[in-house]
A and B are shown apart, each in its own frame.
Chain A
Amino acid sequence: MPFHGRAFGIQLEADFKLPGVLNGNGREPGVPTHLKVVSREALDRGWHAENAARTFDADGPDGRPVITIDYDPDAGYRVWARNHGECRISPNGSEILCAPPHAKAGRWRLLIGQALPLASALRGFEVLHASAVAIDGRAAGFVGASGAGKTSLALQLVLEGAQLLADDVLALEVGDGEVLAHAGVRTANVPHDQAAAMSPDELGRLGTIVGDSDKLHVKFETSDRPLPLAAIYFLRRETGIGRPSIERIDPPDPALLLGSTYVFHVPTRERLVNQLDVCSQIAQTVGMFGVRFDPAHGVRAVSVAVRDHLNPS
Chain B
Amino acid sequence: MHEGNGRVTDEVAQRVLDGRATLPGHMVYRSFVAETVILNLNSGTYHGTSAVGGVMLERLAECEKVRDAARNLAEHFDRPVDEIERDIVDFCLSLQERGLIVLDSSPAR
Interface residues of A (CB under 8 A from B): 251-252, 254, 257-258, 267, 269, 272-273, 276-277, 279-280, 283-284
A-B pair number, CB within 8 angstroms:
40
B31 at the interface (CB under 8 A from A): yes
- For the complex formed, measure the closest distance between the CB of B92 and the CB atoms of chain A, giving whole angstroms: 22
Complex Cα distance A59/B44, Å? 24
B residues 29-50 near A (Cβ < 8 Å) are 30-35, 37, 39, 41, 44, 46, 48
Cβ-defined contact, A280 with B44, below 8 A: no
Cβ-defined contact, A272 with B33, below 8 A: no
Complex Cα distance A254/B34, Å? 9
Cβ-defined contact, A273 with B28, below 8 A: yes
Given A267-B44, A269-B41, A276-B28, 16 new contacts (CB under 8 A):
A251-B32, A251-B33, A252-B34, A254-B37, A257-B32, A258-B37, A258-B46, A272-B39, A272-B41, A272-B44, A273-B41, A276-B39, A280-B32, A280-B37, A284-B32, A284-B33
**Quick one: given A254-B48, A258-B46, A267-B44, are A273 and B32 in contact (CB under 8 Å)?**
no
Q: What 5 pairs across the A-B complex have the smallest Cβ distances?
A: A251-B34, A280-B30, A283-B32, A254-B32, A269-B41
Mostly, the B contact residues are: strand
B44 to chain A: closest residue by CB: A267
Q: List 28 A-B contacts (CB under 8 A).
A: A251-B32, A251-B33, A251-B34, A252-B33, A252-B34, A254-B35, A254-B37, A254-B46, A254-B48, A267-B44, A269-B41, A272-B39, A272-B41, A272-B44, A273-B28, A273-B39, A273-B41, A276-B28, A276-B39, A279-B30, A279-B32, A280-B30, A280-B32, A283-B31, A283-B32, A283-B33, A284-B31, A284-B32
Q: Which residues of B contact A258 (CB under 8 A)?
A: 37, 46
Interface size class of B (residues with CB under 8 A): 10 to 19
Mostly, the A contact residues are: helix
Q: Which residues of B contact A284 (CB under 8 A)?
A: 31-33
Cβ-defined contact, B41 with A277, below 8 A: no
B43 to chain A: closest residue by CB: A267
Q: Which residues of A contact B33 (CB under 8 A)?
A: 251-252, 283-284
**Quick one: given A254-B35, A254-B37, A272-B39, are A277 and B44 in contact (CB under 8 Å)?**
no
